[in-house]
Amino acid sequence: MKLLFVGRLARNRNVEAAIKAVSLMEDAVLHIVGSEERTSSTSKKGYVAELEALVRELGAQGKVFFIGPKYGAELQRFYLESDVFIYPSSYENLGQPVLEAATAGLPVISTPVGIARDIVIPGETGFLTGLDPKEISECVENLRPSGIREGFGNKIRGLVEKNYNWDSIIERYIQVYKGL
């Protein structure tokens, strides 16, 4: 199973939960795409170094790969070549990587933040979880059969295409401005 996390690597993203989850699984790898970012001037540096140390501590070398930032076609390739998207963030306004993963047809396992609350339908398009690595790994295991992943992926992509295309968004803005 190819698992994917995409986003700024900041402590509020709780990437360690995904790393711990993949360490519990057989035959699973996690690609972490993004670079370390401080969310404020008071944020402590060194999060990626802490994550790399955790990988070594768990003996998960060869299962967890820090890819660095990717954009455009390179980023799209990671979405398209993955099986499941994992997003254990503490908070999000939107969570653009979740929307991108859904557009690529990936089932999503996420904490209930941002757009995930609207597009992740538990047991249909993915799973909403807490930060418990065992819970996350169990959600991944539920998606192991390729037919289930494909069904979830098709459903979440269809949901996003229907409700988050520009025509739909503009219509909602018009309704807001008209007070409907």
Contact yes or no for 89/12 (Cβ under 8 A): yes
pLDDT value for 167: 80
pLDDT greater than 80 at residue 39: no
pLDDT (average), residues 13-29? 97
- pLDDT tens per residue across span 49-83: 999 999 999 999 999 999 999 999 999 999 999 99
The CATH code of the domain that includes 88 is 3.40.50.2000
The upper half-sphere exposure of residue 82, i.e. CA atoms within 13 Å in the direction of its Cβ, equals: 29
pLDDT value for 151: 98
pLDDT greater than 80 at residue 180: no
Contact yes or no for 116/87 (Cβ under 8 A): yes
Helix axes 133-142, 15-23, angle to 10 degrees: 60
Domain span holding position 169: 2-178
Residue 153: other Cβ atoms inside 10 A: 23
pLDDT greater than 70 at residue 44: yes
pTM of this prediction exceeds 0.85: yes
End-to-end C-alpha distance for the chain, whole angstroms:
45
pLDDT value for 169: 75
pLDDT greater than 70 at residue 158: yes
- pLDDT tens per residue across span 120-149: 999 999 999 999 999 999 999 999 999 999
166: confidence class by pLDDT, cuts 50, 70, 90:
confident
Q: How many domains does the chain have?
A: 1
